[in-house]
Chains A and B, each alone.
Chain A
Amino acid sequence: VLTQSPVTLSLSPGERATLSCRASQSVSSYLAWYQQKPGQAPRLLIYDASNRATGIPARFSGSGSGTDFTLTISSLEPEDFAIYYCQQRSNWPPECSFGQGTKLEI
């Protein structure tokens, strides 16, 4: 089970955002982060805990391993306000699950 916190995060453009994702048991580094805007499919931001996906700006960074992970947005841009989900996979069989999401609002 993945638990994200906070449920809602209220910040202003230019501020730093720190989102947390905690796993109920170790997922090694099998942790990804997605951004979803209304009416759109999610977009991959980070995979394997800390690797930025292709085309993702450097202000997005991921860290952590085992059970505790963090997504950091160093300086919020207006387009960053969205819902963020973390996702993990178990070692074997490779079953997946998502966190419940964090809404980042202005």
Chain B
Amino acid sequence: QLQLRESDSRLVKPSQTLSLTCAVSGGSISSGGYSWSWIRQPPGKGLEWIGYIYHSGSTYYNPSLKSRVTISVDWSENQFSLNLSSVTAADTAVYYCARALNYYYIDVWGKGTTVTVSS
């Protein structure tokens, strides 16, 4: 059974870069047809799609975050990563990694990890 696990919760200072990793177990990240995704949820608010990396290596990002986001994959470690630069308090959220099908619907979610941006 495929499982996704985000890196531990963290505290990040404003203007710094947030880096998270999602470890994939129970399946190969190089399997065709999947998009490896990041979604976030600010406290008490709804879901926001950040972006994903397709098994081919192509990336697609939320236009509102595109200038600050990079999603990459480490095929040998079977994991993928999120970098979000120049963070502010508005980036405080639970961050989920996930597997998507047909470029959108998510059938497997990680448990989520809390990121707090504060000095």
Contacts and interface: CB of A to CB of B under 8 A. Distances in A.
Given A41-B96, A100-B46, A95 B60 contact: yes
B46 A96 contact: no
B106 interface: yes
Interface residues of A, number: 25
A96 B107 contact: no
Given A95-B60, A95-B63, A97-B49, A48 B105 contact: yes
Given A41-B112, A42-B47, A85-B47, A94 B107 contact: no
B-side interface size class: 20 to 34
B104 A89 contact: yes
Given A32-B104, A88-B104, A41 B109 contact: yes
Nearest to B96: A41
Nearest to B101: A47
Task: Give the residue among B62, B98, B101, B103 with the most A Cβ atoms within 10 A.
Answer: B103
A44 interface: yes
Nearest to A45: B105
B64 to A, nearest CB: 10
Contacts of B61: 95
Given A41-B112, A53-B107, A98-B46, 15 more contacts: A32-B104, A32-B106, A34-B47, A41-B98, A43-B109, A44-B106, A54-B107, A87-B47, A89-B104, A93-B60, A95-B49, A96-B49, A96-B62, A99-B46, A100-B46
B48 A41 contact: no
B105 A32 contact: yes
A101 B63 CA distance: 21
B111 interface: yes
Given A41-B96, A89-B104, A100-B46, A94 B110 contact: no
13 contacts: A41-B109, A41-B111, A44-B107, A87-B47, A87-B49, A87-B105, A88-B104, A89-B102, A95-B63, A97-B49, A97-B62, A98-B46, A98-B49
